[in-house]
Structure 1
Amino acid sequence: MSRNAALFAVMCLVWGLTWLPVKVGSMHVPPVFLAAARFSIAGLLMLLWAGRDAPKVPVDAWPRLIGTALLLNTANYTLLFWGTKHAPTGLAAIVNFATIPIYTVLASRAIEGVRIDGRKLVAIALGTVGLGFLFATRALGGLSATQGDPMEMIGLAAVAAGTLFYCVGAVLSRPIAGTMPTLTLAGWQTLIGGIGLTAVTLALEPVGLADIRALASWPVLPAVLFLIVGGSLMGFTIYMRLLRDWGAFRAGLYAFVSPAIAVAVGVVALSEPFGWSEAVGALLMFGAAAIALKR
């Protein structure tokens, strides 16, 4: 196995495992508070890592950088962490990863005027049907009763909505992506997103001293550390290397591997249900993602 193939496997494993600490951490502290801690610390570490490149942000790029940070990280992860608290981790991962190519097509059309051809229309339709299967049992009161959380369907919808914000932010980031070092852009977007998440948690969640102390105790501390070191720093570093060596298409294939890991971990570690409707929905959505990603 080549070094890049090994790194790809590590990246898929790490990003597939990140959903478990999100779930575990949000069982002990408010979910947006957990997200705020992760992204504020990760953003600071990224900018420290960027070193002398950290200040290299063109003056006229700041408004778009701030706006995209609030979309990519504040709006997205407010909904994603809250949704994952209530939804099965495996299904949350499927909804997140499989809708990114479809939402990106739609966002590119709305913002940049990129034409949607017949192949992309098929992907959008197939992905919509797949989402319907994922939501079907919850809408009919099936697996939601087994899981014991009546907010499951709303949680999955929140993850889907958060992913849409992410894709809009990603498309809007394109004009400034080449004006500064990649780590500088990612570091500032992560830190600004973390500040936005802090504002959200202070406004909406009952955060107290007990929650702050919980960040430094079991099991929240290892969850936060894994999200920062594994999910943000390690995963991002590997992904940027693979983008350089493999290109966006091959590097982006993690979106088909990581959700399978998330589903397996959720079933084994948390006894999350995964029935035939979810399996059909996942296959349809990943089929749609494959069509949308095809070069």
Structure 2
Amino acid sequence: MNKSKLLIIASFFSIYVIWGSTYLLNKIAVAEIPPLFLAAIRFGFAGILILIIALLLKQSLKVTKRQLLNVTIAGFLFLVYGNGVFVWALKYVDSGFAALLASTQPLFVLFLLRLIDGKKMQRKSIIGVGLGILGMYLLVSQKEIATSEGMVIGIFMILSCVLSWSYGSVFVSKADLPKNFFVSTGYQMTIASILQLCFSQIFNEDISTVATMSYKVQVSMVILIIFGSIVAFTAFNYLLKVVSPEKVATSAYVNPVIALLLGWYFLDEKLTNQSIIASVVLLTGVYFITSRKRVTKNKIRPSQKT
């Protein structure tokens, strides 16, 4: 097995397992730290560290105006809105439940590719979409959700975050970005951190809680910065350049399994029978979407590969 294949396998492991654990870690951290400020700290440290790594690897940090604009757009779609608002919603939604909602990403990607590129849906895709919609209905139509304070708005905001992340995936696969994925990731995170700090001030978040955060929150933050941000997000950006966005989106049906197990074990989160059935239906739909045959003419242009 050559080096590039090993790197792809390691990258998939990162976005599958490490990102699956970030739902739990964010849930723990957001209990004590405001969500936008939490994200700003996380991505600020991670972005600077990644850029330092890029310099140590003798990579040029020079970017064109177009590339700077594109990394800003990507940073906003992925991190400012896609992550910042998602973490805010974890105040009202269990981490495992949120992970199940996030698993709809391949469905969103499929619709976006249909709208943007005019790609026709294959039979497996149509079956997957049908199962995905049914799974979503079963998941969000439960009485427990309707009577839970903040749950409905939390679900709505999470789905809007999934849409933002999905569009970001399609955007990055086509955009002119810095060729080195360390540089691209570092700029995205650093710029997103600055934007999140601004929004944190605009929404008057109480940042004084950082001084009194517990040990478990400190540990969660360190893991989020090093593994959730630097390792996994860099792997994510790398994969978007070397494989199709739909294949990258397969993490959406592995992450929920990891998140559900960790939420159950560490936070005593419970799943109803209807949620279990919904998750099986939903993830089966995601499988059908992501296992369909690829159309080779839609591969990413060679000039965009790292």
Match of 2:43 in 1: 39
**Would you say the 8 A contact 2:90–2:154 is kept in 1?**
yes
Give the SS at the match of 1:86: coil
**One-letter code aligned to 1:182:** F
Aligned equivalents of 1:59 and 1:289: distance in 2? 37
**Would you say the 8 A contact 2:42–2:224 is kept in 1?**
yes
TM-score normalised according to structure 1 size: 0.84
Aligned equivalents of 1:62 and 1:81: distance in 2? 26
**Would you say the 8 A contact 1:143–1:273 is kept in 2?**
no
**Would you say the 8 A contact 2:79–2:189 is kept in 1?**
yes
**Would you say the 8 A contact 2:70–2:177 is kept in 1?**
no
The reply on whether 1:61 has 2:60 as its aligned counterpart is no
Aligned equivalents of 2:49 and 2:87: distance in 1? 21
Of the three residues 96, 112, 118, the one matched with 2:117 is 112
**Would you say the 8 A contact 1:38–1:227 is kept in 2?**
yes
The within-5 A match list for 1:238-277 is: 253-277=250-274
Give the SS at the match of 1:288: helix
**One-letter code aligned to 2:149:** P
Match of 2:84 in 1: 78
Aligned equivalents of 1:271 and 1:226: distance in 2? 21
Of the three residues 6, 12, 17, the one matched with 2:21 is 17
Match of 1:213 in 2: 211
Of the three residues 126, 135, 139, the one matched with 1:121 is 126
Match of 1:167 in 2: 166
Larger relative helix fraction: 1
The within-5 A match list for 1:185-196 is: 185-196=184-195
Alpha-carbon deviations, 1:11-68, whole Å to 9, x = none?
5332222111211111112122211211121111111112143523233222222122
Uncovered stretches (5+) of structure 2, i.e. residues with no partner: 294-306
Match of 1:26 in 2: 30
Shifted more, 233-242 versus 77-86: the winner is: 233-242
The reply on whether 1:282 has 2:279 as its aligned counterpart is yes
Match of 2:108 in 1: 103
Match of 1:233 in 2: 230
**Would you say the 8 A contact 2:99–2:259 is kept in 1?**
yes
Give the SS at the match of 2:209: helix
Give the SS at the match of 1:74: helix
> Structure 1 residues 291 and 90 mapped into 2: Cα distance closer, same or farther (>3 Å)?
same
Alpha-carbon deviations, 1:127-160, whole Å to 9, x = none?
12111111122xx2x2676xxx511232222211
**One-letter code aligned to 1:278:** S
Aligned equivalents of 2:20 and 2:122: distance in 1? 31
Match of 1:223 in 2: 220
Match of 2:136 in 1: 131
Shift of 1:113: 2.9
Aligned equivalents of 1:75 and 1:237: distance in 2? 18
Shift of 1:9: 5.3
**One-letter code aligned to 1:126:** L
**One-letter code aligned to 2:130:** A
Alpha-carbon deviations, 1:207-241, whole Å to 9, x = none?
24x223145x5232111111111211232455678
Shift of 1:120: 2.4
Shifted more, 20-29 versus 166-175: the winner is: 166-175
Q: Aligned-pair RMSD on alpha carbons?
A: 2.9
Aligned residues: 285
> Structure 1 residues 291 and 168 mapped into 2: Cα distance closer, same or farther (>3 Å)?
same
**Would you say the 8 A contact 1:29–1:214 is kept in 2?**
no
**One-letter code aligned to 1:157:** F
**Would you say the 8 A contact 1:119–1:292 is kept in 2?**
yes
**One-letter code aligned to 2:263:** G
**Would you say the 8 A contact 1:214–1:221 is kept in 2?**
no
Alpha-carbon deviations, 1:193-214, whole Å to 9, x = none?
2222222211114324x22314
Of the three residues 48, 52, 70, the one matched with 2:52 is 48
Shifted more, 174-183 versus 219-228: the winner is: 174-183
Give the SS at the match of 1:53: coil
TM-score normalised according to structure 2 size: 0.81
**Would you say the 8 A contact 1:47–1:54 is kept in 2?**
no
Aligned equivalents of 2:68 and 2:243: distance in 1? 30
Shift of 1:7: 7.7
